[in-house]
Amino acid sequence: MIRRPVWFHIPAVRQPGTSRSVLIPTCRPAPWPTGAEFDGIAEPVAEGGFEAAVDIMTAIRGAKTVAQKSLRWPVAGLEITGSEAARAALAPMMDDILRAGNVVEDGLTVSEGTAPEGDRFAITVTLADTND
């Protein structure tokens, strides 16, 4: 890896009266976290939450791109249909998805149903008419 050698040499300064370079103390790398530091983090309730969130955000961003709208453009309606397991995996991240996708209040509909083959969800994104 090239990062470590570069990290150690970029912020170097010369010691007065010598040809040695020393690092600025604030730029020293922090030690890697240990496994014990992660003990307090709860395990996910359902597997696949990250992948589920990526599916929804990809659909939202794709709709905005096709419509040539800014990523800040509001989403008036977001309909998500999927199995109970897929919806359970998505639930812990839903608030973040709604904020990141700029989905208007009461613009979300989540329902039980089947997704197209090979997909986790059937997703319909309706963009707002104006950017208010």
How far the first Cα of the chain sits from its last, in Å, is 47
How far is Cα 48 from Cα 55, in angstroms, rounded to an integer? 11
Q: Do both 15 and 74 map to the same domain? A: no
pLDDT for 66: 97
Do 23 and 83 reside in the same domain of the chain? no
E strand or H helix at 21: strand 21-23
**Interacting residues of 94 by C-beta distance below 8 A, sequence separation 6+:** 108
My answer on whether 33 and 89 are in the same domain is no
Q: How many domains does the chain divide into?
A: 2
| Residue 5: per-residue pLDDT | 57
| Domain with 68 in it | 49-127
Residue at 132 is within a domain: no
- Per-residue pLDDT at 24: 53
pLDDT at residue 81 greater than cutoff 70: yes
Q: Note whether 60 and 28 are same-domain residues.
A: no
What integer is the mean pLDDT of 109-127?
95
In a domain, 44, yes or no: no
Whether 60 and 21 share a structural domain: no
Q: How confident is the model at residue 99 (pLDDT cuts 50, 70, 90)?
A: very high
- The answer to which of 1-15, 44-58, 90-104 has the lowest mean pLDDT is 1-15
